[in-house]
């Protein structure tokens, strides 16, 4: 017998919201059928119109809040209802931290099937506003004028933004000046549908020693280049680097392979703790500098280093966590498949006078067995994988090295939970997880997990001849 879906598209229903979904939307039920409702909060009763119906769930939008949550607040951003950049600005910040912890708990129990992992209270930001040191906004035309800002939720319509509440003020200044200058010089902006025009994206990066502007173009030639640079320099005194990145392909990738320095320095600097980092247009660097220090300090605490350990950082990127670990370890190996990232990591090690870090290019599944064959045993493995998490082969590779501890840094509770389950089957049990709020006002949560080996490893002694 075919299951009858109890809701219909276009109709209005009264829903009690039970929890938040992974994208920050309210999750309610109607006759035991799941309905996702953006802008609704746990504990609220709302009237919602159904927009889309699937076999096992529906999506709707709020038309009336019948009983508001005590944690509901008025978003300070006038564009919040349209913009897709933030998802939780209508939720009190302390409640955001509780919701993010609950998101981690739910994933570990539901996906990871782990019931005895301690999930600590989320470490919140001292300042949850204007924290993003990196901005990359699309450029287009809206209502006959140049528009630069976030895409509207669920679309590619650009919401023109003059004062983003989560961007560093230096980035807000860059957006507003670039918009004015592009209008003044009549530089053609990119049309995504027709693949015409010049200026596709504006990237801003805010550093310790000055800011960077990157103009991403669909063409190699940038019209009025000299005048553009002159006007930007005159109106943005904090900018020390102006660059052009060329992205000619018809796709959603923001940066192309070629970058040209138009004026100033090729890199800017930023600091996490005692370490300084050179940042180029393509460098990976955490967008929330203050919370990155909180995150890395927690990873260092969980690694519990005494100065005698060998540590392997299996997805080291540009070496930020690796160099943090090197401060307390005997020796650290950073492994990364992206060659330019390893080049940045080696430069960062030199600049910070770190002598006990070795960086290797390659896939962890190939590099780690090679290190083991050379007699290098990892006391601690640290891993900070992409959003998709680790493959089972990578996790098996970690277990084969028999480290005492694995410190797992994650930006996705679902893939973390899945990997904790696999590691548990491989003899490594998660002891505790520390959520860290790297991205206030959004639904994203970062976590650090401490995972210990369950049983001691007995190494075979070679027979004496």
Rounded Cα distance between 166 and 128, Å, is 8
The radius of gyration computed from the CA coordinates of the chain, to the nearest angstrom, equals 24
Cα atoms in the 13 Å half-sphere on the side-chain side of 394: 23
If residue 373 lies in a helix (H) or strand (E), which one and from where to where?
helix 364-373
Tokens describing residue 175: 């957006």
Q: For residue 449, which phi and psi values (nearest 5 degrees)?
A: -110, 135
Q: Locate tokens 């990066």: which residue?
A: 205
Give the number of other CB atoms < 10 A from CB of residue 301: 14
Rounded Cα distance between 394 and 366, Å, is 9
Angle at 442 between CA 440 and CA 68, to 5 degrees: 100
Q: Are 418 and 111 in contact (CB under 8 A)?
A: yes
Instruction: Give me the catalytic one of 83, 150, 390, 411.
Output: 411
Q: Locate tokens 């709302």: which residue?
A: 46
User: DSSP of 274-313, one letter per residue?
Assistant: TEEEEE-TT----S-HHHHHHHHHHHHHHHT--S--EEEE
Tokens describing residue 380: 């601690």
- 390 an active-site residue? no
Give the number of other CB atoms < 10 A from CB of residue 67: 10
Q: Locate tokens 């369950």: which residue?
A: 454
Tokens describing residue 18: 């039970």
Q: Are 320 and 299 in contact (CB under 8 A)?
A: no
Active site residues: 411
């Amino acid at each position: 017998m075919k299951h009858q879906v109890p809701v219909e598209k276009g109709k209005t229903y009264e829903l009690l919201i039970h929890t938040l979904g992974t994208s920050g939307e309210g999750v309610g039920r109607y006759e035991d059928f799941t309905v996702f409702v953006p802008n609704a909060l746990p504990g609220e009763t709302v009237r919602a119109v159904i927009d889309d119906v699937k076999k096992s769930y529906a999506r709707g939008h709020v038309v009336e809040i019948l009983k508001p949550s005590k944690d509901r607040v008025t978003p300070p951003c006038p564009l919040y209802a349209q913009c897709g950049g933030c998802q939780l600005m209508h939720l009190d910040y302390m409640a955001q931290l509780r919701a993010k912890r609950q998101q981690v708990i739910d994933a570990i129990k539901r996906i990871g099937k782990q019931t005895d992992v301690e999930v600590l209270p989320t470490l919140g930001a001292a300042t949850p506003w204007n924290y993003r040191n990196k901005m990359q906004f699309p450029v287009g035309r809206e209502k006959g004028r140049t528009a630069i800002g976030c895409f509207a939720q669920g679309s590619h319509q650009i919401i023109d933004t003059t004062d983003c509440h989560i961007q560093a003020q230096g980035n807000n200044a860059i957006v507003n000046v670039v918009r004015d200058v592009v209008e003044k010089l009549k530089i053609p902006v990119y049309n995504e549908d027709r693949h015409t025009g010049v200026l596709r994206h504006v990237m801003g990066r805010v550093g310790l020693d000055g800011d960077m502007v990157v103009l991403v173009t669909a063409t190699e030639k940038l019209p009025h280049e000299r005048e553009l640079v002159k006007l930007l320099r005159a109106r943005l005194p904090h900018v020390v680097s102006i660059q052009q990145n060329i992205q000619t392909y018809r796709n959603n990738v923001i940066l192309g392979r070629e970058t040209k320095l138009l004026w100033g320095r090729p890199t800017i600097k930023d600091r996490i703790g005692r370490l300084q980092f050179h940042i180029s247009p393509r460098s990976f660097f955490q967008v929330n500098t203050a919370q990155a220090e909180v995150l890395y300090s927690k990873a260092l605490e969980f690694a519990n280093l005494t100065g005698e350990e060998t540590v392997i950082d299996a997805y080291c990127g540009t070496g930020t966590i690796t160099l943090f670990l090197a401060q307390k370890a005997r020796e650290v190996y950073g492994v990364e498949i992206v060659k330019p990232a390893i080049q940045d990591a080696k430069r960062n090690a030199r600049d910070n006078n770190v002598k006990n870090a070795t960086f290797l290019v390659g896939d962890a599944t190939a590099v780690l067995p090679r290190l083991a064959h050379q007699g290098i045993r990892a006391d601690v493995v640290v891993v900070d994988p992409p959003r998709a998490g680790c493959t089972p082969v990578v996790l098996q590779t970690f277990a084969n090295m028999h480290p005492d501890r694995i410190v797992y840094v994650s930006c996705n509770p679902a893939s973390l939970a899945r990997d904790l389950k696999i590691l548990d089957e491989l003899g490594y049990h998660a002891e505790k997880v520390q959520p860290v709020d790297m991205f206030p006002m959004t639904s994203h949560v970062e976590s650090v997990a401490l995972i210990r080996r369950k049983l001691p490893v007995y190494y075979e002694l070679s027979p004496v001849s």
